[in-house]
Amino acid sequence: PDKICDTYGADTLRLYEMFLGPIEQAKPWDTKGIDGVNRFLKKFWRMFWDRDSFLVTDEEPTRDELKALHKLIGKEQEDIENFSYNTTISAFMIALGDLQGCSKRAILEPLTILLSPFAPHIAEELWHNLGHSDSVVYASFPEYREDLAADDSVKYPVSFNGKTRFFIDASAGASPAQVEEMVRSHEKTPQYVGDMQIAKVIVVSGRIVNVVLKK
């Protein structure tokens, strides 16, 4: 551990230990993936700093940026209660990919709070860079908003007699009748109906569409 701390820092070691897998399971010690965790922390730092230039702005976040943030808030809230730290870190890495190029205070402040249980040293440094005089440990956990985390559209797999044939994108608020109409009018539907007839279309909202065919 001392060598790893000297090379990568204590935050990288902490993150990597939690990233290896469920905390209650025994895991073989292997440092092959530690570079990836270190790159993640450097990527997070670069959202705030470009060498000596502080990048943080007071611009309003976009809908997509808020969605990425609130998905992460919800995931971390759930995972911490279940001690599933490894999946939180995975979700954090995905969120940073979705937030690439974002240096907006409204996004970075809550992200810093979310990171602080896992990488407290870098989080504390960045928290003070953001202008706070108190410690990040006293900051309130960001409030999760389901409406901001919700997807604007849903990708439905469309099956014919149980076999998935294609996918459609429907508005998240589309009714089953609207989704059914999209399937019936889809350019690929005649190809899979062939000389059969559509007996019924079963729509499981937000999940799947199954077209039942009969001769």
Last residue of a domain, one of 149, 177, 194: 149
Q: Specify the 3-state DSSP secondary structure of 165.
A: strand
What pLDDT, on a 0 to 100 scale, did the predictor assign at position 189?
Answer: 97
Check whether 1 has a pLDDT greater than 90: no
* Residue where one domain finishes, among candidates 126, 149, 172: 149
Confidence band (pLDDT; 50, 70, 90) for 200?
A: very high
Q: Is the pLDDT of residue 144 over 90?
A: yes
Would the pLDDT of 77 be above 90?
A: yes
Instruction: Pick from 2-11, 27-36, 73-82, 147-156 the range whose average pLDDT is largest.
Output: 73-82
Identify which has the larger pLDDT, 206 or 96: 96
- Judge whether 72 and 145 are in contact, CB under 8 Å: no
Please tell me the predicted confidence (pLDDT) of residue 151.
82
Per-residue pLDDT of 111-137, as tens digits, reads 999 999 999 999 999 999 999 999 999
166, two tokens: 């294609």
Residues in CB range of 113: below 8 A, 6 or more apart: 123, 127, 136, 139, 140, 141, 142
Task: Give the CATH number, domain containing residue 83.
Answer: 1.10.730.10
Is 176 found in the same domain as 118? no
Same domain (yes/no): 103, 181: no
The backbone torsions φ and ψ at residue 204, rounded to the nearest 5 degrees and listed phi first, read: -100, 105
Q: Sign of torsion, CA 27 31 37 38?
A: positive
Amino acid at 27: K
CATH number of the domain at 178, please: 3.10.20.590
Q: How many domains does the chain have?
A: 2
Paired tokens of 205: 């909202």
pTM: predicted TM-score of the whole model, two decimal places: 0.74
Taking 80 as the threshold, does the pLDDT of residue 53 lie above it?
yes
Which domain covers residue 192, as residue numbers?
153-214
pLDDT of residue 124: 98
Residue 208: its pLDDT value, please?
96
Query: Do 33 and 74 fall into the same domain?
Result: yes
- Residues 166, 130: one domain? no
Q: Can you tell me the distance from the alpha carbon of 84 to that of 107, in angstroms, rounded to the nearest whole number?
A: 23
Please give the mean pLDDT across all residues of the chain. 94
Domain co-membership, 144 together with 171: no
Co-location of 100 and 75 in the same domain: yes
Dihedral sign, CA of 172, 175, 181, 183?
positive
